[in-house]
Amino acid sequence: MKAIILAAGKGKRMKSDLQKVMHPILGKPIVQYVAEAAKEAGFKDITVVVGGEGGEEIKKGLSTCEGLHFAVQQTPLGTGDAVKAGAGQIAPDDDVIVLCGDMPLVTADFIREMMDYKKNNPCEAVVAAVFRGEAMGDFGRVFDRRDEFIEIVEARDITDEHPATNWGNTGIYLFKGASLLSGLEKMKNSNSQNEYYLTDVPKILREEGKTVRVFHTRADMSVFTGINTQSHLAEAVGYMRERINEGHMANGVRMIDPRSAFISSTVKIARGVTIYPGVILEGNCEIAEGATIGMGCHLIDAKVGKSTSVGPFAYLRPGSVIGEKCRVGNFVEVKNATLADGVKMAHLAYIGDADVGKNVNYSCGAITANYDGKNKHRTKIGDNAFIGSNVNLVAPVEIGENALVAAGSTITDDIPPFALGIARERQCIKENRIKK
């Protein structure tokens, strides 16, 4: 089984310097969702067809998506020519599915259903048509007779002579390898665009007397959302957000307002977690059972332990590892730091490049001064230490276990265990100075 993903389109209507299929949806490029759906459906041999211009950008963007091959369509001569560019390794007995690289919501379930249909209804090709009711819009129409394919007609070419139909072309096709290769060789570009259209191949096969079938699906229209504009992209983000959040809630995650939570598909959330409105979870975040993520929090590649509370309005940047039963409060920022169990930093604080021991109290306004203008340095805080309000810990520095740092101190030297560290001017009072 082989899959060909068409990703060579320039996407001019996106009005962006970024390649269309590389626009992100909740942490992943559009085309990566398509490739992952094909993989999940059982396709191990996947070729992504990229354009001669911008192709390297796509290859680089998909470098973490293992097992992909790439083919180049040097000149944009239509979808049929793009498939031809990616058909170099197709064998006659292969089953070949053609997917659109700008349809990130296509599912593995749909692909499997299409494969099962072909298995139960032997044929040379299958055209997937979706029921659209009256909302045909600019979708191409698929015409058939009792599932036997007749033709695909683009919306702009529909005339009064065509019968009414509610079935739209999804742009997804399944071929036997030999028939696909034969049809690709017989395509013609006798059209206003002088391009080779993949939609012609099923018709060529039918005219040769080969069996071509139509797979009618009533899957939700969101599955076939194609992206050509920034508006389409925003629409797809909404659908994907709903799909991801529904999955988490089905696994026991409580979301106060799932419409306002933006969670990447790579995030792992355990049952019993509560997510408040306005939360953004990106990258490889892991949220353990019983944790609470408060309103307006933004977490990137962060780990949160069991029964820990984060936020509201906290920012956990990459490399943040928060232990169990911690309290990371409002307007707190953590970056590349490990907080052991029981740490409390309730509000208005910053910890960067640090290792914080168990049960540390990190008070309001305290910060680690981790950057000297050239290099980053680490701070180490021992178990049960108390860091007072408005403290500056100038790294590299180590605060011993059970040590106490007095409020308002700027600490540049290590503090031993059980010691009190004070680094501030003594208070001076000038009696009646204001009167004078």
Active-site residue, from 216, 232, 347, 377: 347
- Catalytic residue list contains 298: no
Four-point Cα dihedral 400, 406, 411, 417, nearest 10: -10
Distance separating alpha carbons of residues 73 and 7, to the nearest angstrom: 10
Contacts of 196 (CB under 8 A, 6+ apart): 77, 78, 79, 80, 81, 84, 187, 188, 189
CB 12 within 8 A of CB 76: no
User: DSSP assignment, residue 382?
Assistant: -
CB 408 within 8 A of CB 388: yes
Contacts of 71 (CB under 8 A, 6+ apart): 47, 48, 49, 50, 85, 86, 88
Tokens of 163: 């019968």
Evaluate the CA torsion angle 246, 250, 253, 255 in order and state its sign: positive
Helix (H) or strand (E) holding 421: strand 420-421
Tokens of 98: 């053609």
Beta bridge partners of 99: 5
Distance separating alpha carbons of residues 63 and 52, to the nearest angstrom: 18
Distance separating alpha carbons of residues 174 and 217, to the nearest angstrom: 14
Distance separating alpha carbons of residues 191 and 170, to the nearest angstrom: 21
Burial per residue of 126-138, b for 16 or more beta-carbon CB atoms within 10 angstroms, e otherwise: bbbbbebeeebee
Distance separating alpha carbons of residues 18 and 9, to the nearest angstrom: 12
CB 240 within 8 A of CB 154: no
Active site residues: 347
